[in-house]
Amino acid sequence: MSTPAQAEPTPATEKLPRKLRWYDGLAMSMTMPAALIATLGASMSGLGGWGAAALWAVSMVIALGVNWIYIELATMFPDSSGGIAGFAARAWRSRAPWVAPVAGVGYWLPWGSNLATYGSLSGLLIQSQWFPDQDWSASWGPLHFSFPIAVGLVVIAALYLINLIGVRVTMAFVYVTAAILLVPLTVFIAFPVFSGDWAPGDLSWRLEGAEGIRTALVWLYVMAWTTLGVEICTTFASEYREPIRDTIRAIRAAVLVCLGVFFLVPLTLGGYAGEAAVDVDPTTFFVASFADLVGGGADVMVLCLLASLLLVMLTSVADSSRVLFDMGRQGVTVRSVGRLNRRGVPVRALNIMLVLNVVLLVVLQQPLAIIVTGNLGYVLTHVLAVLGFVLLRKDRPDLPRPVRLPAAATPVAVALAAVLAVILVVGATGFSITGYGGFLELGIALGLLALGVVIWALVQAQDRRNGSEPAGDDLDSPLPAEPTPAP
């Protein structure tokens, strides 16, 4: 007697397996201290050591407030793998449904482009340390090739293959690289203080007058992904074994760790290396400092830094592929990307991310140029998600909230959204102040956001022609009835 064939799951019903705990989210959030490597030197060169430390701390305080707001949202939607883009889409659906593709693409681009960003930086470090003579380059129109780009392409391919295997294998690599990251962090934070050459008093403050305010806002825009990125803990809410408790614990731990690192490293490492060394080589100045602090071992230092960059890229691939998977599952983009392979991996989303990174790497080349391109949509998504918190409290006060923040959270959310909006407008129109980026990067960012809206409109039109119902948005999913005290 034959049994009926099991129906193939539709994108709307496919679920990511629940295999993670809160400390897995914390391990992935260590991406942010590792990502500091890409922008630390440039921020110190542009702002001075004290200016950089102050702005990194300010940016992290903003991230603390924003992620406090996200605790309520993340626990309201424990089955969403879309992170803050999913929060924005659900909150704005009845008022402005086009917010869903804008937030989705805006969030996906900076995370999804990190293979290009840190693949390029990996190539620059390898070239600087071991292959300084490999200075060849070739160009065909907008496409550029060089030794660092070739290394970056190899790294992109390797990380893509690792993520194809599955989340537990990816997490094994995450823990190994996060442990290695502790080596340079310990050296950078602790060793300079006990050396005789640490001189924080020699650091400068390069923010003066009205122009200094504008410069500070532009740099807050550049720093946004690195500090606000601790919200990665919410993207994996649908994969935590205990979604509510694990999400809260992961966010708390991630914010505290990153706040300490981002404030201390510019002062300790900058006070040891000196601003003159930073100005000469913002990208790799810390290699020489490491060698001095530990009595040689520059090769070991570079290997540790490369492992740290692998952590950034591994986490970014996992995060961005899940966001795109959720967009496909909800009908925000092409529905076929909302499917999993037999290992529970969103492989079609991974394929799109692979193509994106190869294109960005051979066109934009420089890490900071790629970062400022992605930050336009990223900061915009945070504005929409934080305001979404306010809208959900107004429009859907009846929704179960396992964690209910106090009433004061609403005006705090409005204030945070206003601050982020100012940073967005000033930063997106002035990031040439940093020396990286211009109309090309701005055009790419706006073009991708517009393309996301066009694809969404086509998917919606196709659904209407087929008489399909839109995917459920889990606004009314059953959740624990008793609210947890606000954190």
Q: Under a CB-based contact definition with an 8 Å cutoff, are residues 88 and 99 in contact?
A: yes
Cα distance between residue 365 and residue 347, in whole Å: 26
Cα distance between residue 237 and residue 244, in whole Å: 8
Cα distance between residue 105 and residue 406, in whole Å: 31
Q: Under a CB-based contact definition with an 8 Å cutoff, are residues 430 and 214 in contact?
A: yes
**52, 382, 366, 10: which is closest to 207 by C-alpha?**
52
User: Which residue in the block uniquely carries the two structure tokens 């102050």?
Assistant: 54
Could you list the beta-strand ranges (E) of 297-379: none
**383, 405, 382: which is closest to 393 by C-alpha?**
405
Amino acid (1-letter code) at residue 420: L
Instruction: Please list the pLDDT of the chain residue by residue as tens digits (487 residues).
Output: 444 444 444 454 555 667 778 888 888 888 788 778 778 888 888 898 899 999 999 999 999 899 899 988 888 877 666 678 889 998 998 899 999 999 989 888 888 888 888 888 888 888 888 888 888 888 887 788 888 889 989 988 888 887 777 666 677 878 888 888 888 888 889 889 888 888 888 888 988 888 888 889 989 988 887 899 888 887 777 778 887 788 888 888 888 888 888 888 888 988 998 888 888 888 778 777 877 887 767 788 788 888 888 888 888 887 788 788 888 888 888 888 878 777 677 788 888 888 888 887 888 666 666 677 778 889 999 999 999 999 999 999 988 888 889 999 999 999 999 999 999 998 887 766 655 556 777 787 888 889 989 999 999 888 888 776 554 445 444 333 334 444 5
Q: CA 76 → CA 72, 247, 323, 396, 406, distances in Å? A: 6, 11, 17, 12, 15
Cα distance between residue 381 and residue 39, in whole Å: 21
What angle do helix axes 167-190 and 243-273 make, rounded to 10 degrees? 40
Give SS3 for 145.
Answer: strand
Q: At CA 160, angle to CA 159 and CA 165, rounded to 5?
A: 95
pLDDT of residue 306: 87
Q: Under a CB-based contact definition with an 8 Å cutoff, are residues 213 and 449 in contact?
A: no
Q: Which two tokens stand for residue 61?
A: 């305080």
pLDDT of residue 411: 96
pLDDT of residue 477: 44
pLDDT of residue 62: 94
Cα distance between residue 23 and residue 247, in whole Å: 10
Q: Under a CB-based contact definition with an 8 Å cutoff, are residues 73 and 389 in contact?
A: yes
pLDDT of residue 375: 82
Determine the straight-line distance between the first and last CA of the chain, rounded to whole angstroms.
56
Cα distance between residue 298 and residue 286, in whole Å: 10
Q: Which two tokens stand for residue 35?
A: 């990502």
In the chain, what are the domains?
Answer: 22-464 (1.20.1740.10)
Residue 301 CB-density burial (10 A; 0-12 exposed, 13-18 middle, 19+ buried): buried
**183, 263, 192, 274: which is closest to 223 by C-alpha?**
263
Q: What pTM did the predictor assign?
A: 0.83
pLDDT of residue 66: 94
Which value, in Å, is the radius of gyration of the alpha carbons in the chain?
A: 22
Q: CA 463 → CA 7, 95, 450, 456, distances in Å? A: 21, 20, 20, 11
pLDDT of residue 1: 43
Cα distance between residue 293 and residue 231, in whole Å: 33
Specify which residues 401 forms β-bridges with.
none
Q: CA 14 → CA 235, 265, 338, 364, distances in Å? A: 16, 42, 8, 36
Cα distance between residue 225 and residue 393, in whole Å: 27
